[in-house]
Amino acid sequence: MNRRKAIQWPGSDIMTNIERQTPIGVSPAGLLPVSLPLVLAALSWAFVLAGSGTGMSVLAMTSLHFPPVSQIGAVFRPWTAVYAIQMMLMWWIMMLAMMLLPLAIFARSAFRQARVTSAVTFLVGYSSVWLLFAIAATGLQWVAEKAELFHPFMMWSISPIFSSALLAGAGLFQLTGLKSRTRFACQTSEFSLASGLDFGKNCSICTGPIMLLFLAGGTMNMAWMVGLTLIVLAERRLDDHRLFDRLLASLLIALGVWSLVA
């Protein structure tokens, strides 16, 4: 019997059928493809927890207060090429840490049936799209920092208007047709570089506005990273998204209003 290799978000019938067709045991040939996204996710989380190569403490950059506050003055400093690369790498690895985790969990059956080379090329394509997203997010961070909307040391928004725009924008995006289309387009019937690029494109559009909320809550704020990761995991798992989208949109818009009046 030919087994169908497919990834679909979230908890789709395709994934369910694969689960039914897949033996409980994992063969040695299928173990490596299954472990690839999980290992990459673990390494990415380790890199983030170690400070993302910035030399700064994640705990010192974490705050449960919103809007976040700091006693350190916000003074714009010119970016060097090395610092820009550090910020881009921080964004990229942070995105991989968050997005490879649901991929490793919910697509394990599809990876189990893939060849190692196919799984690797798929992940290269998928990661490359998030690299492009990281470059764009780094550029937005630089613009916000230069406009004195973003704290250059604590790396979170110091502008109520900027924070509100990010939160309300992400909330409204949850209710759009583009959100629904890209979420259900996050599927593939094969493992290749092209399918990885397409999969990454849809996933980055689907979750991009949520990821940009790091600019509001702190790009190295672990409280936000854990919270947004849980949102992504829940979104990938639920079958009926309408209630979830409305609740999340309401919460984000309410936080946007709160950031203006707090």
Q: What is the pLDDT of residues 144-179, one digit of tens each?
A: 999 989 888 878 888 999 999 999 999 999 999 999
Output the pLDDT for position 31: 77
User: What are the residue boundaries of the structural domains of the chain, listed by start?
Assistant: 10-15+29-49+78-261
Q: CA dist 251 to 168, 206, 233, 248, Å?
A: 9, 18, 17, 5
What's the pLDDT band for 35 if we cut at 50, 70, 90?
Answer: confident
On the question of pLDDT at 182 being above 70, the answer is yes
Residue type at position 40: L
State residue 28's pLDDT score: 55
Among 20-34, 153-167, 191-205, which is the least confidently predicted range?
20-34
- Name residue 56's amino acid: M
**Residue 6 tokens, joined:** 């497919």
Q: What is the pLDDT of residue 54?
A: 78
Question: Residue 70 — φ and ψ, nearest 5°?
Answer: -150, 145
Q: How far apart are CA 57 and CA 50, in angstroms?
A: 7
pLDDT tens by residue, 57-106: 777 777 777 766 665 666 778 899 999 999 999 999 999 999 998 888 77
Q: Considering the chain, what is the average pLDDT of its residues? A: 83
Q: Which residue type, as a one-letter code, is found at position 131?
A: L
Percent of the chain with pLDDT over 70: 85
Rounded Cα gap, residues 175 and 186, in angstroms: 17
Is residue 13 pLDDT above 50, yes or no?
no
Q: Do 98 and 232 form a contact (C-beta atoms < 8 A)?
A: yes
Cβ neighbours of residue 45 under 8 Å, at least 6 residues apart? 97, 101
Higher pLDDT, 109 or 197: 197
Chain centroid, CA 67 distance in Å:
21
* Rounded Cα distance, 190 and 193, in Å: 10
Closest by CA position to 259, among listed 229, 205, 215, 221: 215
- At 57 the pLDDT is 76
Q: What is the pLDDT of residue 4?
A: 44
Half-sphere exposure for 187 (CA within 13 Å, toward CB): 17
Mean pLDDT of 128-144: 96
Confidence of residue 187 (pLDDT cuts 50, 70, 90): confident
pLDDT of residue 131: 97
